Amino acid sequence: MKIKVQAMGDYQTNCYIVTIDNKDFIIDPGVDATSWVEQNVKNPVAILNTHGHFDHVWSNNELQKSLKIPLYTPKDDVMMLQDSSWMPSLPPSTADVEVKPNEEFDFDGVKVKFHHFPGHSGGTSMIEIGDAMFSGDFIFERSIGRTDFPYSSPEDMKTSLQRFKELDFDKTLYPGHGGTTTIKQEQAYTDYWIQTL
């Protein structure tokens, strides 16, 4: 598996291209991600959103059209693709697949699972592909996603962090902003974040 990453836009949102078994998966194509993605894919299969915030979904529509591939977005965040209250200039997009909580997909032998961890938004998910977990804005290196946005919930975040703490496996985490970390590394800080919410 190969992973390419490019930070996009003013918020330096990580857009990932995951290549596995000659299939390219685009994760969170943010502001002005289209040209970079187009230059770095050979066999694009799907666009995957960890959640619906504008800086993670900005280029959804352009890439759906140019690459002719489906968009997978967590069900509870699809309304944000059409209407961003704090970013009215967001180019609207429409999910081809509204992903149910903890739903898993099989792309000709490549398994992709959306692990539902609401709090930062209602649909926030970590996307598992192989030995990698793309954590969006749920978990960062020594930090967590904000819970003061519309559709955020500190209580849901507490519950999600408790579930994250109980994961009994380790994988590399590729967050929506900043550098990589691991599940085990971030589990060490989980109690602190739960107490601060």
State how far the Cα of 161 lies from the Cα of 81, in Å rounded to an integer.
26
Do 190 and 157 meet the contact criterion of CB atoms below 8 Å apart? Answer: no
Do 126 and 117 meet the contact criterion of CB atoms below 8 Å apart? Answer: yes
State how far the Cα of 149 lies from the Cα of 121, in Å rounded to an integer.
8
Q: Which of 123, 120, 127, 124 is nearest to 104 (CA)?
A: 127
> Residue 129 to residues 49, 133, 151, 193, 196: CA-CA distances in angstroms?
13, 6, 27, 26, 31
Model pLDDT, residue 178: 98
State how far the Cα of 2 lies from the Cα of 90, in Å rounded to an integer.
30
Q: How many domains in the chain? A: 1
State how far the Cα of 8 lies from the Cα of 123, in Å rounded to an integer.
22
pLDDT in tens, the chain (197 residues): 999 999 999 999 999 999 999 999 999 999 999 999 999 999 999 999 999 999 999 999 999 999 999 999 999 999 999 976 677 789 999 999 999 999 999 999 999 999 999 999 999 999 999 999 999 999 999 999 999 998 999 999 999 999 999 999 999 999 999 999 999 999 999 999 999 99
Determine the structural domain holding residue 127 and report its residue range. Answer: 2-196
Residue in this structure with the two tokens 């002005």, named with its chain if needed: 32
CATH number at residue 182: 3.60.15.10
Phi-psi region of 108 (alpha: psi -120 to 50; beta: other; left: phi over 0): left
Largest CA distance in the chain: 45
Q: What is the pTM of this model?
A: 0.97
> Residue 71 to residues 7, 28, 107, 119, 140: CA-CA distances in angstroms?
20, 10, 13, 22, 24
Model pLDDT, residue 96: 98
Model pLDDT, residue 83: 76
What is the β-pairing status of strands 97-99 and 104-107?
A: unpaired
State how far the Cα of 193 lies from the Cα of 191, in Å rounded to an integer.
6
